[in-house]
A and B are shown apart, each in its own frame.
Chain A
Amino acid sequence: MKRLLTFVAAIAATQLASAETLKINGSTTVNLPVAEAAEELRAQKKLDIQVDTQGGSSGGISGVGDGLVQLGMSSKSISDADRAKYPKVNFNPIHIGEDAVAMIVSRDVWEGGVKSLTQQQLRDIYEGRITDWKDVGGKPQRIAFFNKEPGRGTWEVFAHWLYGDAKKAPQVSFPEVGGNEETRNKVSSTRGAMSQLSASWTDNQKVFALGIKADAGEVVQPTPENIVSRRYGMSRPLFLLTNGEPQGDARTFVDFMLGSRGQELVKKHGYLSIAELKQR
């Protein structure tokens, strides 16, 4: 009997401890600096932090909406639909940096001579009117387009930029990819492959970021300068998301991300810090 009581007490104790775990979930893009920040906070302040990337930005938003996590990570803004879905939740997006979305291609496409595309060419590829790289200045090879799965911030930014509004994007069915790592691997291991990817994940060794050609023929690369000046249009804010004002450990975490070390981590992973964005 005593043993049983000890056992019950032990279970109760772990339950109490886990109640204090700071749970974070959402976008793999935001995850990069956040996971590193979590590691530093665990070591420095002995915080119990659990970071996950289930379901991308949508997973982060619904996690906060359902109260499953204290902090969401999102690489897209909260839409009216999200707010309507969770009327009781007071979504509070905290801007921690900015990232661009690049159109990436595999090595054979890049070396075959396709270094940039116009918006119209991208629309033609997305809607299936162009299916071969030879039609956009490359070598003959079928275009293997990997589309970011629904709910990914990357896709929303791409669709918003290409069609003015993600809701206006045509209904298409391509093979889908999820996180950034999967996207990069699949594109680099497939001939004639193309996908959307967070610009900070492009390495120009395995996958190559295309420039965007304006109608006048000028090519804009997804560089930090071009993103700050908004000449490169396919960019997006990165958010930590809370329900109302962050409290307790969540507050500590948000302050850390906005502080000098957190912003250093944001820059380290190829994103633009808040300070850089203020130069706009």
Chain B
Amino acid sequence: MMTNEDLVRDLRLSDGAARRPYLAGISCTRLASFAFTALALGTVGALTLIFILQSLPVWQDEGIGYLTGGKWFYRVQTFGALPMIYGTLTVALIALLLAAPIGIGAAIFTSEFLPARVRLAVKITIELLAGVPSVVYGLIGILLLRDWIYELFARFDLLSGDTLLTAGVLLGVMILPTVMTLADDALRSVPAEQRRAARGLGLTATETVLAVTIPQAGRGLIAALLLGLGRALGETIAVFLVVGRQDNNLPANIFSPRAWLESGQTLSSKLGGSETNIAYGDPLHWAAMVGLALILMTMVLAATIGGAWQRKTKYAPSI
């Protein structure tokens, strides 16, 4: 048990720089934090390296066709990942199309028009959405969204309610809190003086938002979208449950929204499926599955790094 006296002694010890623990002249705190950072970075590096090494056989076997091939039949050792890359990008794009206007719109409202207290309440409520486990979203998707999309687009003669659109809409809801809360932070980081100056020049509240706040928070808003995109790309279980998991369903025209009403497969739904179990032990098939993970990781990393970079380099506008 720590007595009161112990506590007081501890406090005294920690008081004053001279008594901080040092190891060979280097602060232990510094050393420890360096070690943890190195560990975290090393894990990412090692993971990437393992993914590259383990996926080597499929690159050797399929070459660039692994990325551009439209057929995936593991039973005859044909591996083309394009339909899954298409599925992943399409689903994430739909999610962004939905989450961008709603998320940024909500952020403008909370940050520019709500009193501070209410703003926090609204923000926390929306952030609660981010705490809902993704499998719950998936189940809601199965229960409500599938049937809703199925009936809503019935005249397009859908084959079933499991479509890229269903997955995209579900993902849109899931990344909404990320987009909204980061966009809100970006808008709040614009100094109040700027707004006051604008209002002082006679701009209305709306004009201030459109002409001053949004342009200045621009990079932060893009960062919010990119980080939302990163989350959408990697999400697995909710997508898995409603995307239909149909391989090789590459549409004739990949820009056609009509194809959004078809079942598809994403990189993550493929990885979350039963093939990962089967692939283990077959070097080429396993390499192909690890290769999918590598592609997915590259995409998520690109979005996340892009987002972080946009967020970091803030600038004062030259007026």
Residues of A within 8 A of B (CB): 54-56, 58-59, 62, 85-86, 142, 144, 146, 149-152, 167, 171, 173-178, 185-186, 189-190, 192-193
Contact = CB atoms under 8 A, between A and B. Distances in A.
A132 to B, nearest CB: 11
A173 B248 contact: yes
Contacts of A173: 246-249
Contact of B245 (A58, A142, A176, A185): A176
Contacts of B159: 142, 144, 175, 190, 192
30 contacts: A54-B277, A55-B277, A58-B274, A58-B277, A59-B274, A62-B278, A62-B280, A62-B281, A86-B281, A142-B157, A146-B160, A149-B245, A149-B274, A150-B75, A150-B274, A151-B275, A151-B278, A167-B75, A171-B73, A171-B75, A173-B246, A173-B248, A174-B246, A175-B162, A175-B245, A176-B245, A190-B150, A190-B159, A190-B161, A193-B160
A177 B159 CA distance: 15
A151 B278 CA distance: 7
Interface in B32-85: 73-76, 78
Q: For B160, B281, B282, which residue has the most chain A Cβ atoms within 10 angstroms?
A: B160
B274 A186 contact: no
Q: For B74, B76, B280, which residue has the most chain A Cβ atoms within 10 angstroms?
A: B280
Given A171-B73, A173-B248, A176-B273, A144 B160 contact: yes
B87 to A, nearest CB: 12
A192 B76 CA distance: 30
Contacts of A189: 146-147, 150, 161
B244 interface: yes
A149 to B, nearest CB: 5
A56 to B, nearest CB: 6
B213 interface: no
Contacts of B162: 175, 186
Contacts of A176: 244-247, 273
A54 B162 CA distance: 22
Contacts of A86: 281
B89 interface: no
Interface string B208-245: 00000000000000000000000000000000000011
A177 B282 CA distance: 23
B129 interface: no
Given A174-B246, A190-B150, A59 B160 contact: no
A144 B246 CA distance: 12
A165 to B, nearest CB: 12
Interface string B140-156: 00100011001000000
Interface in B5-39: none
B88 interface: no
Contacts of A56: 274
State the 7 A-B residue pairs at the shortest beta-carbon distance, nearest first. Answer: A175-B244, A55-B277, A85-B281, A173-B248, A171-B73, A175-B263, A173-B247
A205 B159 CA distance: 22
A151 B277 CA distance: 8
B248 A150 contact: no
B240 to A, nearest CB: 9
Nearest to A61: B277
A62 B273 contact: no
Nearest to A155: B274
Nearest to B245: A176
